[in-house]
Amino acid sequence: MTIQGIKAVRDILGKDGELILENHALTDKLSAVQYGKMASKYNILYFEEPVKPDPDLLSYVHQETGLNIASGERMYSRWNFKRAFDQNSIQVAQPDICTAGGVTEVKKICDMADTSELGVQIHVAGSNLATAVSLNLEAALPNFVIHEYNVNTEMPKMLKLTKYDYEPDNGVFTVPNKPGVGNEISDYAFKHSRVVTVK
């Protein structure tokens, strides 16, 4: 997004609206710093993935811009996160339940973040199964910051994969109150899956 675009979003949100700058790790550290410095006057809540998920690079951007840094969707274990926490590389951890070892591993990551006084925004970009599981976990986190809503979740091919669809109401999600994780894999998903038996 251009700086003019950031200004336009800030104008729409007003001075108190939470504005997150997402970079998808698409720039090098020098470009990320330049971009972050230009954007910093627009009261950015945090700068998400300004660079690749390397603690040294993330620390550099944080120190040079003064912006809070969020990262983690490309980190796959508590050991990756521990290094980032120990180096104060990120201020908001973004583990993904689908890629960082499941609920138990992500809960450990979130607890480690809490002991480092860091926030958590679980990365959610999959089906409504991931949404339901993430909402349940987030409800139990003292360091929860914000729930990620990704438009991929509402794509027809994703909606076919689960029985229930969770969407925000006026920007607010309700934690599922259905049994288990609050969602189930659909008959469609089972019929269109490859069955593998491990002996």
Domain count, the chain: 1
- CA dist., res. 48 & res. 180, Å (int): 31
Residue 86 confidence (pLDDT): 96
For 13-66, the pLDDT digits (tens) are: 998 899 999 999 999 999 999 999 999 999 999 999 999 999 999 999 999 999
Residue 1 confidence (pLDDT): 67
The structure tokens listed for 189 are 């998903």
Within a domain: 196: no
Q: How far is C-alpha 63 from the chain's CA centre?
A: 22
Which residues of the chain, if any, have pLDDT below 50? none
Within a domain: 153: yes
Within a domain: 197: no
Q: Which CATH number fits the domain that encloses residue 164?
A: 3.20.20.120
Within a domain: 87: yes
Within a domain: 198: no
**Beta-bridge partner residues of 19:** 44
Within a domain: 199: no
Within a domain: 38: yes
Range of the domain at 62: 3-191
End-to-end CA distance of the chain: 50
> Which H or E run includes 129?
helix 128-138
Within a domain: 131: yes
Residue 62 confidence (pLDDT): 98
